[in-house]
A and B are shown apart, each in its own frame.
Chain A
Amino acid sequence: RKEVEQDPGPFNVPEGATVAFNCTYSNSASQSFFWYRQDCRKEPKLLMSVYSSGNEDGRFTAQLNRASQYISLLIRDSKLSDSATYLCVVNWNNNDMRFGAGTRLTVKP
């Protein structure tokens, strides 16, 4: 089992659609979780932190399920500008960050 695993996609959705990404992780001791967004040929940038039972920021909702060891990202009312790769990031033993391979999203008019 990969340490941090994401559905690679690509997800192709129309504007206004709701889309959800899942990410599973293998280290039950992990305490911190994040979603990053990476645009083509750019560095990743923090989209949301995910703590305890999850959180919401506008059209974005992140949730954590510790028992099943997965986190999710829900994007409502998709915009063209949401097109990017979304990376799941898990803190590993409080020492380093482990990244998923990313899920590619394309929002079409």
Chain B
Amino acid sequence: DGGITQSPKYLFRKEGQNVTLSCEQNLNHDAMYWYRQDPGQGLRLIYYSQIVNDFQKGDIAEGYSVSREKKESFPLTVTSAQKNPTAFYLCASSDAGRTEAFFGQGTRLTVV
């Protein structure tokens, strides 16, 4: 089945550690996105990528890094520079800017 997969579903991290969230899609989509959602809040764009080996910062990129070495993969690293990383992270992909986005099931990151 085609889809977009995020892993892990739940992640716990100690303060000061970097952690990488996985996002893989087999929909052959060019565009991929990372969003952050805090309780009771909307989605905020962290990074997006329109093509392999290229990505752009979103509204809240500080403390995060990404790579797009393969079309199907867009991992997000939450670095120790991110001051408040506890949140729900959603990865999405779309065929092009004009079409709807498909979401993974999300990763809940908790800093302990």
Contacts and interface: CB of A to CB of B under 8 A. Distances in A.
A96 B101 CA distance: 10
A50 to B, nearest CB: 11
B97 A93 contact: yes
The residue in A43, A45, A49, A101 that gathers the most chain B C-beta atoms within 10 A of its C-beta is A43
A2 to B, nearest CB: 10
A82 B45 CA distance: 26
Contact of A43 (B41, B44, B99, B105): B105
The residue in A42, A89, A97, A98 that gathers the most chain B C-beta atoms within 10 A of its C-beta is A97
A97 B98 contact: no
Contact of B43 (A49, A93, A99): A99
Interface of B is mostly: strand
Q: How many interface residues does chain B have, given as a range? A: 20 to 34
A21 interface: no
A87 to B, nearest CB: 7
Contacts of B43: 44, 87, 99
B2 interface: no
Interface in A66-109: 87, 89, 91-102
Contact of B96 (A34, A49, A92, A94): A94
Given A43-B106, A87-B42, A87-B43, A97 B90 contact: no
B98 A96 contact: no
A46 interface: yes
Contacts, number: 60
B33 A97 contact: yes
Q: How many interface residues does chain A have, given as a range? A: 20 to 34
A20 to B, nearest CB: 19
Contacts of B41: 101
B35 A96 contact: no
Contact of A32 (B35, B99, B102): B99
A32 B90 contact: no
